[in-house]
Structure 1
Amino acid sequence: MTETTITAERLIGRFGMVASVVDCLLDANGPGALILGDAGIGKTALANEVIFELGSRIRPFYVFAGPSLSEVPYAALAPLLTALTPGQTDQPRAVLKALVTELNPEGLRDQSQAVLVVEDAQHLDDSSAAVIAQLAAAEAARVVLLCRPHPSPPPEVLSMWSEGLVDRFELQPLSKEEADELCTRVLGSPLVPSASAVLFRSSGGNPMFLLELIAHAKTRGHLVQRNDTWVLLGEPGAATVRLMDLVRNQIMQLNPDQRQALESVALAEAIPLSVLQRASDSHAVDELKELQFIAISADPARHVRLAQPLIGEVIRQLVPTARSVTIRRRIVDLMDSRPETLDGRLRHVTWALESGATVPDADILEAAQLANRLFIPEYVERVVGAIRDPSLKLAAQVELARAKLYGRDPMGAALCLEGVVEQATDLRTIRQASMLAAQLAAGKRNGPEAVLRAADAWAEAVSRLEEAEPGFDAKELETARLGSRLLALEGYQAAGRHVEAEPELQQIWESTDDDESRLLAGTLLAESLALTGRAVSALQIVMDVEDILADSGDRRLEYAEFVMRRYLLALLHAGEFDVLDTYLQNHIAQASNSLIYFGGMLHLAAGTADLRRGAIGAALPKLSQASEVLRLSDAGGDLPDALAAAAYAAAILNRTETAKANADAYDALLSDHRHASPLGRAYTVAALAERMGVQTAVSKLMALADAAAASGFLSYEVEILSLVLRLGDLSVVPRLAAAAEGCEGRSAEFLAAYCRALAAKDVNRLVEMSDSAARDGLDLAAAECAAHALRILETRGDKPRQFEAQKLVKQRNAALNKTGSSTAEIPPDLHKLTRREQEIAALVQAGASNREIALQLGLSLRTVEGHLYRMFAKLGISHREDLASVAYGARHAGLPGTA
C-alpha cells in the first residue's frame, strides 16, 4: 500500500485524547498508540484526526486486518510487501526488511516519521503482530493500533503495551453534548432536546449507532424537519443492513455456547440470572459478562440485559423462528412465574405470539395497557388483534384508541371509542374510555362541553350497570361515580370555572380513601390553586400526589404526564425557575418514550421559565422548538400558548417579522376553534403593541386583566398587569401591587416589593432589588429596577447619584446582552405624553425622519422639533436616538412576574 494522506470530516469531541496521541507520535523517544474501543465508537475517526493534526510531519500508511485473514501469516501486511518474492513471504527477517524499506524510502526517513495505522488490530495474525512489534522496537516506524477490546487482541499486541512500545488509550462513548453536536452536523440543524435525548439513549453514545438511528428514523419518516428544527415522531429503531452485518460478525466470533446464551438474553430480556444460567452454559454467561456483551442489574433477581439495547433489536431479527421457539420453550419451562420487569413482560407476550404459543387474552390486554403506559403505540397495534375473548374486546378497543392517539391519529382514536362506554360491562373499561374521550377533547374550543359529555356518559353507564346487576359491589360503584364527578370538575376547569370547582375538589382530596380518585382530585386542585394565586399551596399538594404515584406501581405511568403538567404550572407561577430547570433536565435525561409524545410540553415550560426570568435570547429558540414539536404532537392543547409566548419573546428582541408570524399562526388556531388561555391572548397583544399602537394594546390588556380578575385567575391578572407596566403605563402600579400581594411565590413577592418601591420612588430600594434580581438570574428585572432608579434620579436632578445609577444600568444591560436579550432602557410614562406626542414617538420608532413626520402629520418641521424637545423632558431622555431605541412598543412588552 502506498503512502496516503487523509482529510476526513473533523472529529466530534475526544480532543484531549487526540492531543495525547499526537504527543506520543511527535516525541522523538515516545511510543506508538494502542486505541481500544467497541465497534462504531470512533477509533478510525480519532486516528484520522490525529493524522490531520500531524500533517506533513509524518507519513501515514494503512493496513487493514480482518477475521477472514487472521489465520494467514502476514496477510494483513500483504499490501506493503509487494517487493517480496514468493519464496520470501514466509521468512520473518525478509518480511521485516521489506516492510522497513516500504515505509522508509531512501531520503524520506530523515524528513518525516513513518506512521503505520493498523485497523481492526484484534484480527492480526500472529506473524503480522510479531513483525509490527519488531518494527516498533527498531523505531523504524511509529505504530497506531486500532483495536476492539473483545475478542482479546493477539498476545503480541498486548506485549507491545506492557513493554512500553505503545501507550494505551480507551475510547469512551460520546457525551450527551458531543452526541448533540454530531446530530446537528449530520442533519444540518439541531434536534429538539427531547428527540436528542431519545436518540442518545438508544445509541448509548456510540457514533456509528447514532448515525444509523438517524438514517433509519429519517427513512421511516419518524425524524422530520420543521423549519430549522428536527422533531422525532416515533421510536427510531435501527435494524439496518449495516448494523445487522456488524452484529452478525460479532456473534460469529463467539463460540456456540456464548452465542446461545446471548440469543437467550436478546429474546427474553430482562431475564433473571438464575434462569439464564440454567438455560445456558453458566461459563458462557460469565464470559459474556467479561466481554461486556451483557449487563446484570443489582435487583434481587439480578436481571440480565444486553449492554447495548440496540444490538438486541438486531439479534432478535437475526435469530431464525425455529431456533427462537426452541429457546423460548427452554426458558418458559425454567421460569417459576411470569417476568417481573416491564420490558420482560412485554417481550414475553410478543415472543410467545411470534412463536405460535397460546397466550391468554388477559395477558395480551395487560401487555397492551403496559405498552401504552410506556408510550409504545406500535406494540399495541401489533398485539391487540390477537385478543379473541368477547368480554375483553371493548377494553382492547380502548387501548387501541390510546395507541392511535399517541400515533397522531385522533380521528382513528375517536372511532375506536365509539360505543365503548355504552356497551362495556366492567367499570374499568368505562373509566378508561371516558377519560380518554376527555383527553381527545383537550385544547379544542368545545373541549369543556366534550369533557362534560364524557362525564355524563360515564355516570349513565354506572347507573346502567347498577340496574342490570343488583349485586354489583357498592364500593366500586361509589368510586366510579366519584370518578365521573371528577371528570366533570375537570370539564369545569377547562371552561375556566376553577373557582367553582375548587371547594368540591378540596372536599374530595381531604375525604376520599380511594388513591386513584385522590390523585385526580389533588392534581386538579393544584391547578386551581396555581391559577388563583396560591402556587406554593399547589406545590405542596403536588408533592403529596407524587407520594401516591410512587406507591402505585405500574399505574404511576398512566398519570405521570397528567400530574407533571400541573407541577410545571405551579412551579412557573411560584417563580421556582431553578427547581423547574432541574426537574426538566432530569426528566429529559431519562429519555423515556414519553418525550416523543409530550416533549413539546416540556420545551414550552423551559422556554416560559426563561421568558419570565428575562433570558429572552435563550427563551425564543426553546419556544420556537416547542411550537414545532407541538404542531405535530399536542396532546394537551399547548400549541396556542407556545406560539403566543414565542411571538412575545421575538417582539422583545425586536424581531418583528418573527413576532408577527407567530401571532398570525396563533390567530389562525383561534379561528380553527382552538382553546386559548388568557395569558396567551395577552402575550399576542403585547407582541403586537407597536403595530396596533401602545394605547390600544394597553386597553386590550386591561380588559383581559379585568376578565381574569372576574374569573378569579389572580395569577393571570398579575402577569397581564405586568405586561401593561412594561408598556410604560405606571398608573397600573397600585393595582398590580395589590394583586401581587395576594399571590404566593417568589415572583409575586418580588413584584409586590418592586411596585411598592416604584410607588414610593424609593431609589435605594430599587437598587437593592436590582442587585437581588441579578443574583437570582432575573436579568431583565434587574435591568428594569436599575433603569427606574435612574429615571427617578434624573427627574429629581440628582446629578451626583445619576453617575452611579448610569453605571449600574450599563452593567445590567451588559448582562442582558450576554443572555441574548435586548437592552432594557427606561420605559416611557405614557400618561405624560399627549396623543399627538404618542403619534410622533411611534413614527420615530418606525425610522421616520423629522421632515417625514412633519409631512405625514401635516405639521411644520419646527413644530415637530418642539414636540420632540418637550417629549425628551417628559420621558427623561436626551436625544432622538434614545426615543428610537427605548422599547416604546413591543420591545418593552416584557416578562410577567419579574418586573
Structure 2
Amino acid sequence: MICLASFNSSSAHSASSNSSSHGVASNGRAAKPETELRQLTGRREAIEHVCTVIRSRASQAVYLMAGPGVGKTSVTDAVREKLAAEMTVLRIHGSSSLAKVPYGVLAPYTSGLAPEEADSPVAVLRAVWAHFQELKGISALNGGADAPVLLVVDDAHHLDDATASMVVDMTSAGWATVLAAGRPRPGLPQALNQLWYDGLAERIDLRPLNGEQVREVVEHTLQGTVPVSTVQSLWSASGGNPLLLDCLLGDATAAGTLVQRNGIWVLLGPLPANGPRLSDLVVKDLLRRTPEEQDALKLIALAEPVPRGLIEDVCGAGVVRSLLDNQVVSESAAMHTELRLTHAILGESTRRQVSVSRSLQLRQKLDAYLDPAAASAEGRLRLVEWSLECGLEVPDRDLLDAGLLAATTFNNAGARLMAGHVRAPELQAHALSITARAHFNEGKYREAAELLDGCWLDLAEDPEAPQVLMLRASSHMALGKSVPSLRAESRQQLEAAGIAPDDAWQDRIHRLLEMAAAGDHEGITAVITALGTTDPDTASGVEATQHAVAQALLAQTLVAAGKSHQAHAAAAAAGPFLPALSGGLYFFNEFVLTRLAISTLAAGNWESAEHELSGYPAERTEGASTFGGGIQALRGLGLLRQGQLERAYQVLLPAVEALRVNDPLQEFRFGSSLAFYAAARLGDAAQAKRLEQDFISARHASGPGCDAVAEAYAAAAAEHLDRKGSGLDRLRELAASESVTDHPGTRMECLILCSDLGERSLTEELAAVAATVEGRWAAGWRQLAQAWASEDADVLTDTAAAMEEAGLLNLAREAYARAGALLDAAGERRRARQAIAHREKCDQELGERFRESPFVASVPSVHLTRRERDIVELAVQGLSDREIAQHLMVSVRTVEGHLYRSYVKLGVRRRDELALALPKK
C-alpha cells in the first residue's frame, strides 16, 4: 500500500506514534531516523540549495531528478530533517503499480468518501484539505506556530495524472510547497512539468559521484586509507552510484576481497558479483519487472554488448524502450547501437541469477537472430563465455581469440576458462601463454613463469612470440631472477632447440634487458643503430618489439646517466611502435609509460609527470588493480623530490600495500624504500621500521633502473631514523662507488640525500655533478649548492627568489632558511625575519610544516597573535589605522600598538613592506 506520512517538530509525539512516519513504504524503502549519521558526500550543496529555495519561496516547487540509486531519497530525507522545525512535512510515495489509478497514492485520505466520490477531484481535494487542517490543529495544541506545509513526493515519475494535477492545484493555491524526486526517464507527469515550463518550479539534476567523492565515501565507510587503484576499481564498478557502491563495499569486505593490511584497505581480487547485498538488489529489481522485461534483461546481461535491433527482434521494441526509460540498460552512441546493463557488475550479477537450463533456452531463442561475425570484439568474447557456460562447443580459434582479449582486459577467470577448453594439441602452447598472462595479472608470477618456460620456444615462430618472451622475462624478474642469469639459461635453451643464440632476436632482447640492468646506454644505442630505421606502420611484431623495448630501456639508462631530456626523447620514440603491439599478451603501454614518467621526473617537470601518471587509471580502469601500485610509487617519488613529504607519504603507504599484492613492474622494493624514507622523515618510527623490513626482505628487483636509488633512499631513511651516522656513511660510500660514479643522475640523487641530512662537505661536489645533469631539477640544485658554498646571504636570497619563480619551492625554502641563519648571525634581525617569513610562505605553498633544516634553529619562526594578524591583513588591503579600528571595533591607539609590534616581529620598517613579509596562513 502507498502511504502519505507527515512530520513536524511541534507534533513530534504524534508523528513518532504514527508507524507510517518511520516505517517501511510500499516500495520497500525505510524512512531513516533523524539521529542516523549519513554520509552525504557530493550532496551537501544540493541539500543546502533546496532548503534555501524552499525557505525563500523563490519557487512553488523543486524537482530533484536522478537515476535509480543516485541518492534522491537521501537528499529528500536530509531536507525533511533540516526543515522539520520550520514546516509541516508530508510525504507521498509513487508506485508503478498505481501509476494508472486516479488518486491511488491518496487512498489513505479518501477511504471515507462514498464510492461515487472516489474519483471526484473536488471531493478528494476536500479530504486532503481536511487532513491539512487536522495537522495544523495538532500543531496548535502542542504550542506550535501555523507552520507552512512541505509536500515531499518520492518517485514522482510514477504519480498518476490526476494526483499530479491535484499537487499542482495545491501548490498554486498556496497550500504547500512541493519537493518532488523522480527519474529523468520517463520523466515527471505533464502537470508537474508544466510548472517548470512556466518558470514556477526549479529543477536540480543529481549527478553520480565523481572519483574524489567516491574516495571520500569509501574512506568514511571503511574508516581507513584506501589505495587509488582500489578507489578506481570501486568507482568504475559502481559508476558513482551511491546505492551500488554501498552494496559493493559491504559484499567485498564480507567476502574478504577487500581487507585491511597495515592500516591500508587493499583489494585482493575482483569485486564479488555474487555477494548477498548486490544479489538482493538485482533480484528485487527483476521481480519488479514484467515477464517480458525480465527476459529482455537476462538476454542483454548474457550477451552484452548486444545490438539493440537484435533484442528488439526477440523481445519487442516496446520492452527495450521501457528498460531504457527506466535507466536499467544503456545504449552506445554508435551508428549500430548496442545495449548493455548500466553497470558491468550488475550484468555479471544478473547472469548469476539465471540457471544453466534457462540460459540455454534464452541462447537458443537468440540464435535464430544472431550473427556472431557482426558482433564487436567484446560481444564475441561474451558469446564465447556464454557458450561455455551453457555447455556448447566452441571452435579452438574462437576460444584463443576470446581468451587473449579476456586476459588483456583483466577478465582473468574468463581467460583461464577459455584457454582450458582448447583441445587441439598444436594450440596448447597458445593456451598456456594466455593462462600465464591471467596468472600474471593476479600476481601469481611463479605459476606464470612455469607455464611460459614450457611454451616460449614452441611459439618461437608465432606472431605472438615477442609478447610471450617479454612476459616470461617479466615473470622471472618479478621472482627476483637476475637478467644475466635469465639470459644465460635462455641461450642454452635456444641452442638445445636448434636456434643459434648469437643470431636470434630472442637473445637480442635479452641482451637489451641485460645492458639496461647494467646501465649501459652506449651499448643500447649501438643496438638501436644496428636495428636501423623501421617504419612503425609496416613493422613486424619482432621489429616493433625490438624498437619499442630498446628505446624504452635507453630512456631508463639515460636517466641514470643524467640525460633526462634525451631519455624523454627516447621514450617518446617508442610510442609510434605501440599501436602495432596493442592487443597482445604483453603490457607494452605500461612498460613505456613508466620509463617516460621517470625521465620526466628526472628533468623536474612535475606537472607533466603528474599528467602522464594520473591519466593512466582513467584510460585503463580495468588494469588499475594490477598496475596501480607501481604508478602511485612513481607519483610518490615526484612528490618527495618536490619536498612534499606528507603528500608523498599519503601516496606511498597505499602504493606499497598495492605492490605487495601485484608488482608487475618490479617496484615493490623501490616503493618500500621511498615509503621508508618518508616515514622516517616524518617521525613515524613504527611504520618506518616495518617498511625497512619490507625493503630488506624484498626479493623483487627495484623497478626500471632504480636499484641504486632505492639503496640511497633506504640509507638516508635509516640515518633519519637513528642518527648514528651509519646511514650517512652508507650514502657517501654509495655515491663514491664505481657503479654510481658512472651514472651522474643517480650520483646526484645520492648527494642530494646527503645534503638533506645536513652534510655540507659535499656541497661543491654536488654543484659539480649537477652541472653535468640535464633538467631544471639538476639546474636548481646546482644553483642552490653554489649559493650555499658562497656563504653570502644576498646570493642565497636572490637564488631563493629565482627558485621560487621557477616553481622549485623546496629548494627556495632551503635557500631562504640558510639566508636567514646567516643574516641572524650577522645581527641583521630584520632581514633575517623577512627571509624566514619567505621560508614559511614556501612551506605553506608546499602544504608542509617545515622540516628539520640545519639552518632553522638559530632563527625563530615569525608568530603573530590572532589580533596582530587581523590588523596586518587589513593594513595590507590598504585600510588606514582609523578604518581598521572601526572595522575591528577597537581604538586607533590599539591598532597602532599592534602594528608596531608586528613591524618588529616581521622585521619591516614601512607599511608597504608588510605584504612581502607576512607569512601565509
The alignment's TM-score, normalised by the length of structure 2, stands at: 0.80
Shift of 1:310: 4.1
Counterpart selection for 1:207 from 222, 233, 242: 242
1:502 to 510, 513, 524: 524
Task: Report the RMSD for the aligned CA atoms in angstroms.
Answer: 3.5
Shift of 1:784: 0.5
Contact 1:37–1:170 under 8 Å retained in 2:
yes
Return the match for 1:413 from 431, 443, 448.
448
Task: Rate the CA distance shift 1:355–1:694 in 2: closer, same or farther, 3 A.
Answer: same
> In the aligned structure 1, how far is the partner of 2:848 from the partner of 2:689?
18
Give structure 2 stretches of 5+ with no counterpart. Answer: 9-32, 858-921
Cross-structure match for 1:663: 692
Superposition deviation, residue 329 in structure 1? 1.4
For residue 744 of structure 1, the aligned residue among 743, 755, 774 is 774
Counterpart residue number, 1:523 = 552
1:194/1:588 contact within 8 Å kept: yes
Letter in 1 for 2:798: E
The answer to whether the 8 A contact 2:117-2:123 is kept is: yes
1:443-842 equivalent positions in 2, closer than 5 A = 443-453=478-488, 455-456=490-491, 459-460=494-495, 463=498, 481-494=504-517, 496-498=518-520, 501-508=523-530, 510=532, 514-555=543-584, 558-669=587-698, 677-690=707-720, 692-693=722-723, 695-707=725-737, 709-710=739-740, 712-794=742-824, 797=826, 799-800=827-828, 803-817=830-844, 819-824=846-851, 827=854
| 3-state DSSP of counterpart to 2:7 | coil
SS at match of 1:436: helix
Write the mapping of 1:339-488 to structure 2, written as runs, cut at 5 A: 339-341=375-377, 343-421=378-456, 426-427=461-462, 431-453=466-488, 455-456=490-491, 459-460=494-495, 463=498, 481-488=504-511
Q: Could you list the per-position Cα deviations for residues 129-159 of structure 1 after superposition, in whole angstroms to 9, with x for gaps in the alignment?
A: 3443333333333332222233344434434
Aligned to 1:871: none
Q: CA deviation at 1:22?
A: 1.4
The aligned counterpart of 1:186 is 221
On the 8 A contact 1:63/1:117 being kept in 2, the answer is yes
| 1:32 is aligned to 2:68 | no
Counterpart of 1:442 in 2: which secondary structure? Answer: helix
> Quick one: which of 37, 57, 71 aligns to 1:42?
71
The equivalent position to 1:139 in structure 2, one of 154, 158, 174, is 174
Corresponding residue for residue 7 of structure 2:
4
1:301 to 1:460, Cα distance in 2 relative to 1, 3 A: farther
Q: Matches of 1:651 and 1:775 in 2, distance apart?
A: 30
Superposed displacement of residue 719, structure 1: 0.3
Residue identity in the other structure for 1:543: A
CA contact (8 A) 2:7 2:84 kept: no
Does the Cα contact within 8 Å between 1:129 and 1:154 map onto a contact in 2? yes
Q: Percent identity?
A: 27
Instruction: After TM superposition, give the deviation of residue 377 of structure 1 in Å.
Output: 1.2
Question: Using a 3 Å threshold, how does the CA distance of structure 1 residues 42 and 80 change in structure 2: closer, same or farther?
Answer: farther
Pairing partner for 2:362 from 306, 324, 332: 324
- One-letter amino acid of the counterpart of residue 93, structure 1: V
Structure 1 CA distance for aligned equivalents of residues 851 and 280 of structure 2: 59
Of the candidates 74, 80, 97, which is equivalent to residue 126 of structure 2? Answer: 97
Q: Which residue of 1 aligns with 2:104?
A: 75
The question of whether the paired residues in 1 share the 8 Å contact of 2:581 and 2:588 is answered with no
In structure 1, the gaps of 5 or more residues are: 467-476, 831-899
2: CA distance, partners of 1:83 / 1:509: 92
CA distance in 2, matches of 1:727, 1:827: 8
Q: Distance in 1 between matches of 2:618 and 2:587?
A: 20
1:813 corresponds to which letter in structure 2?
Answer: E
Deviation (angstroms), 1:368: 1.5
Q: Which deviates more from structure 2 when the two are superposed, residues 601-610 or residues 31-40?
A: 31-40
Aligned to 1:837: none
The offset of 1:316, in angstroms, is 3.9
- Contact conserved, 1:588 with 1:595, CA < 8 A, in 2? yes
Distance in structure 2 (CA, Å) of the matches to 1:272 and 1:457: 52
Give the direction of change, closer, same or farther, for the CA distance of 1:303–1:458 in structure 2 (3 Å limit): farther
1:719-772 Cα offsets, whole Å, 9 max, x none, are 001111222222212222222122111211212222223333454443233223
Q: Which fold has the larger relative contact order, with Cα–Cα distance below 8 Å and residues 6 or more apart in sequence?
A: 1
Post-superposition offset of 1:605: 0.9
- Contact 2:702/2:710, CA 8 A, preserved across alignment: no
Per-residue deviation, residues 235-257 of structure 1 (Å, max 9, x unmatched): 32545566566566767888888
Matched-pair contact (CA < 8 Å) for 2:524–2:550? no
The residue type paired with residue 489 of structure 1 is: L
SS at match of 1:742: coil
1:563 is displaced (CA, Å) by 1.3
Task: Find the aligned partners of 1:229 and 1:784 in 2 and give their Cα distance.
Answer: 33
Comparing 636-645 and 609-618, the one that deviates more: 636-645
Instruction: Kindly provide the CA deviation profile for residues 210-232 of structure 1, in whole angstroms up to 9, marking residues without a partner as x.
Output: 21222233344332222332222
- Structure 1 residues 669, 314: closer, same or farther in 2, change over 3 A? closer
Provide the C-alpha distance between the structure 1 equivalents of 2:712 and 2:767, rounded to a whole number of angstroms.
19
CA distance in 2, matches of 1:793, 1:592: 53
Paired AA for residue 362 in structure 2: S
The verdict on how the C-alpha distance between 1:817 and 1:295 changes in structure 2, with shifts beyond 3 A counting, is same
Shift, 1:51, TM fit: 1.5
Contact 1:40 1:209 in 2 (8 A): yes
Q: Secondary structure in 2 aligned to 1:730?
A: coil
Flag the 1:550–1:809 CA change in 2: closer, same or farther, 3 A. farther
Q: Deviations over 1:860-889 (max 9, x none)?
A: xxxxxxxxxxxxxxxxxxxxxxxxxxxxxx
Counterpart residue type for residue 239 of structure 2? G
Tell whether the 8 Å contact from 1:689 to 1:696 is kept in structure 2 after alignment: yes
Counting only pairs closer than 5 Å after superposition, residues 237-248 of structure 1 correspond to structure 2 as: 237-238=272-273
Over 3 Å counting, the alpha-carbon distance change for 1:696 and 1:756 in structure 2 is same
2:375 counterpart letter in structure 1:
P
TM-score relative to the length of structure 1: 0.82
Cα distance in 1 for partners of 2:245, 2:415 equals 26
Three-state SS of the structure 1 residue aligned to 2:758 is coil
8 Å contact from structure 1 (residues 509, 521) kept in 2: no
How has the CA–CA distance of structure 1 residues 762 and 362 changed in structure 2, closer, same or farther, with 3 Å as cutoff? farther
* Contact 1:492 1:498 (8 Å CA) reproduced: yes
Q: Say which is worse superposed, 169-178 or 779-788, in terms of deviation.
A: 169-178
Q: Does the aligned pair in 2 maintain the 1:499–1:712 contact within 8 Å?
A: no
How far has the Cα of 1:521 moved from its partner?
1.3
